[in-house]
Amino acid sequence: MEDSGTSGNYGDIGEDTDGYLDSVHAEVSRTFDLALRQLENDELRKEVRDSYLLCRIADTIEDTDLIDGDDKAELLESYSGLIQEHRSGEAGYREVADWVRDVSDSLKGVHINDLDGSGEENASYWSLVRNAHTASSSYDGFEDEAKDDVGRSIQEMAEGMADYVKGPQGIRIKNEEDLTEYCHYVAGTVGDFLTELFSRTEEVDEKALRENSEDYAQLLQRINIARDPVADLEEEDAIFIPETYMEGLSHREFREEVGKALESEDVREEHLELVQSVEEILDSAEERADSAVRYVTEFDQAEDDNGVRAYLETPLLLALATADRTEPEDAFTGSGLKIGREEVGKILHQAGDITDEQWQDREKLLKDIMA
């Protein structure tokens, strides 16, 4: 990575750090911000918020097309090292600012200050990267055990992402095993630290939680992948659908077919291989649904004083509703698989009030919620 000589004050957001972290969390993930609002325990809410934001910093580096793959890998590996330094109390503002400078020096034809607040579609993500010290300094205030659990997971995430972004093209997933590994790095690691944070505030069977947390995370990530493969391709040059799911299509042919599908009047009829690849992803998510529900129902609905169960139910219900109430071919219309605001509102109204018995019949549960 070349040093362009850029320097200066990164992350000048004023004194309201907590307000900034709340607002940027809402901007970089609507789904998890809706879930975050369900948490009643202020300390836990801040831990979850700040941990998620530290993950989103790594995710922004992984996703951008403004940095070459090998430079992305180097930045993600150094980010892991930075988190390790925070875990051991060896990093402060200067170390974070140096890393942000390295990010800016790696951007192709633009300075990071030009992305932050510029009207760029992903301006909020770059604002977070530029202000990385706000999340990291808040993380420094975690209790030692929480800091260690969260930091270890974020390091695993960043190092795993680094392996996938190397090379001249975007991420390409080869097969089911590759998909499972990728989903673990970007989502399973989040499930790991949530399990540790939540199990310290709730009376739960920790062994059962750990057995099911991976499937909960895998389900959410797989449905997220199915939602909008067109955006992944156009914005990140990434194909997360495994080549083995594509009924004989290579990644190159997949790209060509997506372009044709966007102009098609009948995607299922004219581009069945694409539709079937999304169906495969959704089926692989459904296979994990029972385990994901077990993860959620380990938290006692009647004793959910901290809002943990409501937090976990929110993204799960949104994901299941997306898979249930959309058609796979919609993934190639340019708008992706998504449910309406009214449906989202109904889910938010019910999250936290669903009994274990209701969860046993997911089809009826979703139908009742949407009635």
What is the pLDDT at residue 11?
53
| pLDDT digit string, tens, across residues 123-155 | 999 999 999 999 999 999 999 999 999 999 999
- Could you state, in order of their start, the residue ranges of all structural domains in the chain? 18-167, 169-371
Q: How many percent of the chain have pLDDT more than 70?
A: 94
For residue 6, give the 3-state DSSP assignment: coil
Quote the pLDDT of residue 249.
79
* Confidence at residue 1, expressed as pLDDT on a 0 to 100 scale: 44
pLDDT at residue 119 is higher than 60: no
Cα(167)–Cα(186) distance, integer angstroms: 19
Instruction: Look at residue 267 in the predicted model and tell me its pLDDT.
Output: 93
**φ, ψ dihedrals at 368, nearest 5°:** -65, -40
Say how many C-beta atoms besides its own lie within 10 A of residue 265's C-beta.
6
Confidence of residue 164 (pLDDT cuts 50, 70, 90): very high
Task: For residue 251, name the pLDDT band (cuts at 50, 70, 90).
Answer: confident
pLDDT for position 116: 67
Question: Mean pLDDT over residues 87-113, rounded?
Answer: 94
| pLDDT, average across residues 31-38 | 95
Print the SS3 string covering 196-252: HHHHCCCCCCHHHHHHHHHHHHHHHHHHHHHHCHHHHHHHHCCECCCHHHCCCCCHH
Mean pLDDT, the chain, as a whole number?
Answer: 92
Q: What is the pLDDT of residues 187-234, one digit of tens each?
A: 999 999 999 999 999 889 999 999 999 999 999 999 999 999 999 999
Weakest mean pLDDT among 6-10, 88-92, 104-108: 6-10
pLDDT of residue 27: 94
pLDDT in tens, 232-245: 999 999 999 999 99
Length of the chain: 371
Is the per-residue pLDDT at 4 higher than 50? no
In this model, does residue 73 exceed pLDDT 60? yes
Res. 9: pLDDT tops 70: no
Asked whether the beta carbons of 246 and 277 are under 8 A apart, the reply is yes
Between CA 131 and CA 17 the distance in angstroms is 10
Residue 2's pLDDT is what? 39
pLDDT band at 81 (very low <50, low <70, confident <90, very high): very high
Note the pLDDT tens digit of each residue in 271-308.
Answer: 998 999 999 999 999 999 999 999 999 999 878 889 99
What is the C-alpha to C-alpha distance for residues 195 and 147, in angstroms, rounded to an integer? Answer: 14
Q: What is the mean pLDDT of residues 87-91?
A: 90
Q: Which is the CATH superfamily of the domain at 169-371? A: Farnesyl Diphosphate Synthase (1.10.600.10)
